[in-house]
Amino acid sequence: MSKHLAEPEWTLEIKPVSGWLNFHIKDVWRYRDLLLMFVRRDFVAVYKQTILGPFWFFLQPILTTITFTIVFGNIAKIPTDGIPPILFYMSGIVSWNYFADCLTRTSSTFVANANIFGKVYFPRLVSPLSNVISLLMKFGIQMVLLTGFIIYFKSNGSNVNPNLYILLTPYLIFLMGGLGLGFGIIVSSLTTKYRDLSFLVSFGVQLLMYATPVIYPLSALPDKYKWLVLANPMTAIVDTFRYAFLGAGSFNIENLIYSTIFMFVILSIGVVVFNRVEKTFMDTV
């Protein structure tokens, strides 16, 4: 036994991948500076790459809102709970976009970063986390746009009632980011093995939007389908968001708790799967 005392104390052991719950979460914290640098890189890159830069962030929701107003409001005549259609659609689009962007961006983590991941070790989770954070910039800019429209409509006497539930916004953002990240890293983990999944992502996100009250209010939904839409964890979030900023729709604490639990479950599954795949993906990508 005395021989063992002389053995050096190893700080790291590299072993074959085994088990699912072998985390290095502490590592993520140790690399928090890298997280900041990635976010900074994304900011600067967006700002510098195009002349119009952040202007695109305005353009996209405006054009989508116009399209939705014409197609769903004027042609299909879907009710908007008595709110000006432009505000109704824009609030839905802005909140939905943040979730959708988080999901799409993080879902390509492994494929997009294969080059860096193949050369240097750092906790891979840093990468999708930084995506979720840097997407806040786009969300923030679109919020400014939305706020501008709300003020304009309010001063023109429209039936818009922003209320104190606005204080819930950071929590809603947290839920959206968590859900987007959770789904995204699950998809990104699976795509390393089964490539075709990546084609499903943009398609799936689009379909999911129609199962979320983005272009219609919950109240306009036939009872037959209500359970389906309520099972979607994004429903309560978009609905609460709209209720807080426009005063229309509903606020239902139970639905929001459901979304919260859903978020934690999906995020946990995501982290476990991602953590497992990050060790073997170099062999499959």
Partner 1 sequence: MSQVIKVEGLSKLYRLGIVGRRTISEDVNRLWAKIRGKEDPYMKVGETNVRSVSGKSDYVWALKNINFEVKDGERFGIIGKNGAGKSTLLKILSRVASPTKGSVRLKGRVASLLEVGTGFHPELTGRDNIFLNGSILGMTQTEIKKKFDSIVDFSGVERYIDTPVKRYSSGMYVRLAFAVAAHLEPEILIVDEVLAVGDAEFQKKCLGKMHDVSEKEGRTVLFVSHNLQAIKNLCQKILILDNGEMFTLGQTEESLKIYNELVRGTKIDAHTEIGNITNRRGSGAIRFTSIEILDSSGSKRYKYDLGESVRFRVSYKVYKKMKGLRLIVALLSGLSRECLTLAYHKLTDVELIPGDSGEAEVEFTDLNIKPGEYPLYFELIDGGHNSNSKDVIDDLTAPLIIKGTGSYNGTSFYPDKPSGYFSTETVLNLNEIFKDEAVIRKAL
Binding site for partner 1 (CB under 8 A): 8-17, 31, 33-34, 36-38, 40-41, 44-45, 48-49, 116-122, 192-195, 279-280, 282-285
For partner 1, the closer CB: 121 or 203: 121
Give the Cα-Cα-Cα angle 245, 253, 242 (nearest 5 degrees).
20
Contact call for residues 90 and 72 (beta carbons, < 8 A): no
Torsion of CA 202, 206, 207, 210, to 10 degrees: 170
- Report, in Å, the least distance between residue 113 CB and partner 1: 9
What is the DSSP secondary-structure string of 76-106?
Answer: S----TTS-HHHHHHHHHHHHHHHHHHHHHH
- Quick one: tokens of 69? 């107003």
Name the minimum Å distance from CB 103 to partner 1: 22
Are 88 and 80 spatial neighbours (Cβ–Cβ below 8 Å)? yes
Q: Are 171 and 259 in contact (CB under 8 A)?
A: no
Report d(CA 48, CA 279) in Å as an integer.
34
* CA separation for the pair 62, 94 (Å, rounded): 10
Nearer to partner 1, 265 or 282 (CB): 282
d(CA 276, CA 273): 5
CB of 93 to partner 1, least distance (A): 29
- DSSP classification of residue 218: G
Kindly list the distances between the CA atom of residue 235 and the CA atoms of 118, 217, 220, 225, in Å, as whole numbers in the listed order. Answer: 39, 10, 14, 13
CB closer to partner 1 out of 10 and 227 = 10
Q: How far is the CB of 105 from partner 1 (least distance, A)?
A: 16
Contacts of 68 (CB under 8 A, 6+ apart): 85, 89, 93, 215
Minimum CB separation of residue 150 from partner 1 in Å reads 35
State the nearest-atom distance from the C-beta of 64 to partner 1, in Å.
Answer: 28
State the nearest-atom distance from the C-beta of 34 to partner 1, in Å: 4
108 phi/psi in degrees, rounded to 5: -110, 20
Shortest separation between residue 24's beta carbon and partner 1, angstroms: 10
CA dist 266 and 108 (Å) reads 17
